[in-house]
Homo-oligomer: A and B are copies of this chain.
Amino acid sequence: MPSPTIDGTLRGYVIPIGGGEEKMNNPEILSKFVKLSGGNDAVITVVPTASQLDDTGKRYQKIFEEIGVKKTYSLPITDRNDAKNPAYVKILEKSTGIFVTGGNQLRLSTILGGTPIAQAIRQLNAKGVNYAGTSAGAAIVSQHMITGGSSGTVPTEGGVNLAPGMGLINTIVVDQHFNERNRLARLLSAVSFNPFLVGIGLDEDTAAFIDHNNVFTVVGSGAITVVDPSDIEYSSMAKARAGDALTLLNLKVHILSSGARYDIGERKAYVS
């Protein structure tokens, strides 16, 4: 569950990005994240833990500086000890925006899960600090996080692997590189386990800017596929054997491109 909001403060934006966001030439998504976080006066802290590359944090610092941010940090957290470092928590507390890079979402959950860093990220977001994460950094916002599964369009029993995520938002399950890696099958498998979830499939260079009312706006060059199982009449998930094709009756699907909005609470899509 998301960290409870303290009376009177509004939660910061939660911004899952589908990976592969434009970084150099008109970086629409990153610029909008910066703008919402204070523009040139934003303080952006990068958490590059998902990545195995040494320069991922510095690379994003440079990108944010090119966008005009004067103060950027990167936290070199590579193991659970690092994730308990109070100095890093202090830096997060100075931030107006937190950016979590791509890589492997299981590195994020295994290294950050249950640590002061994870706790700080959740609490700061609840107090108004914006969170943006790309690829693995997008997956981890879900409480029930997709870590793997079958590609294709048709869901199967056993077609998705879930693990506990950071849970900045608990009613959606996020998937990324969605169109590029043909991930509808695994997203459908995920929502068919328990229709309280809404599935959000993010294409590359596409982000959901989720506001404190749990309404998101689509930003970027691709689309967001929303799978809403609220009206589902039947799912064969409980009796299917491993690998079996599933029967799922009455899924609602929206394809949302730039400017379209979706109200996660009301489960309603709008053109703009």
What is A's interface to B at a CB cutoff of 8 Å? 151-155, 178-180, 182-185, 188, 201, 203, 206, 221-223, 225, 227, 233-234, 236, 244-260, 269-271
Contacts and interface: CB of A to CB of B under 8 A. Distances in A.
A258 B244 CA distance: 10
A256 B247 contact: yes
A249 B245 contact: no
**Which interface residue of A152, A188, A201, A270 has the most chain B CB atoms within 10 A?**
A152
B260 A247 contact: yes
A113 to B, nearest CB: 30
A244 B257 contact: yes
Contacts of A222: 154, 245
Given A152-B182, A249-B271, 7 more contacts: A153-B184, A154-B179, A154-B222, A245-B255, A249-B260, A251-B252, A251-B255
Nearest to A203: B154
A237 B234 CA distance: 31
**Which interface residue of A182, A183, A222, A245 has the most chain B CB atoms within 10 A?**
A245
B254 A250 contact: yes
Nearest to A180: B152
A245 B257 contact: yes
A184 B155 CA distance: 13
Contacts of A244: 257
A64 to B, nearest CB: 26
Contact of A154 (B178, B227, B247, B270): B178
Contacts of A178: 153-154
7 contacts: A152-B182, A153-B201, A188-B255, A206-B245, A245-B257, A247-B259, A251-B252
Contact of A185 (B154, B155, B179, B185): B179
A52 to B, nearest CB: 28
A17 to B, nearest CB: 15
Contacts of A270: 249
B255 A247 contact: yes
Contact of A225 (B154, B221, B227, B256): B154
Contacts of A257: 236, 244-247
